[in-house]
């Protein structure tokens, strides 16, 4: 499937989501701002999402996040990645 972005309404109702695995979605350019409203999200895998340009500011609201993989996101703006997101270990290239 080739998705340049996730439709905004697709995440807001997933309040019990614990893992979001988008590894290798090379056409993905952005994540919706409401990703920060996923209180149970623990793992976010964006590895090799080569088209991803920036992370939304709301990502800092993911206080339960334990693991974020942005390795291989070559176009990701470094200043859009906060130094700390919850308790997450951040894997980057």
CATH number of the domain that residue 86 is part of: 3.80.10.10
Residue 73's domain comprises 9-92
Would residue 3 count as lying in a domain?
Answer: no
What value does the mean pLDDT take over residues 32-55?
94
Does pLDDT of 2 surpass 60?
no
Q: Are 43 and 19 in contact (CB under 8 A)?
A: yes
Half-sphere exposure of residue 15: CA atoms within 13 angstroms, side-chain side: 1
Q: Is the pLDDT of residue 74 over 80?
A: yes
Q: Domain total for the chain? A: 1
Q: Identify the H or E element spanning 56.
A: none
Does 6 score more than 80 pLDDT?
no
Whether residue 89 contacts residue 70, with contact meaning beta carbons closer than 8 Å, is answered with no
Residue 22 lies in a domain: yes
Sheet with strand 43-45: strands edge to edge: 19-21, 43-45, 67-70, 89-92
pLDDT score, position 8: 55
Would you state the pLDDT for residue 10? 67
**2 is a domain residue:** no
Residue 43's pLDDT band, with cuts at 50, 70 and 90, is very high
């Amino acid at each position: 499937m080739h998705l340049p972005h996730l439709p905004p309404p697709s995440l807001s109702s997933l309040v019990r989501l614990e893992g979001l695995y988008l590894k290798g979605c090379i056409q993905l350019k952005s994540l919706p701002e409401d990703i920060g409203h996923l209180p149970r999200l623990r793992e976010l895998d964006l590895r090799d999402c080569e088209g991803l340009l920036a992370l939304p500011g709301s990502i800092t609201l993911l206080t339960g996040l334990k693991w974020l993989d942005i390795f291989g996101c070559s176009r990701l703006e470094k200043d859009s990645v906060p130094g700390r997101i919850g308790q997450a270990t951040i894997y980057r290239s």
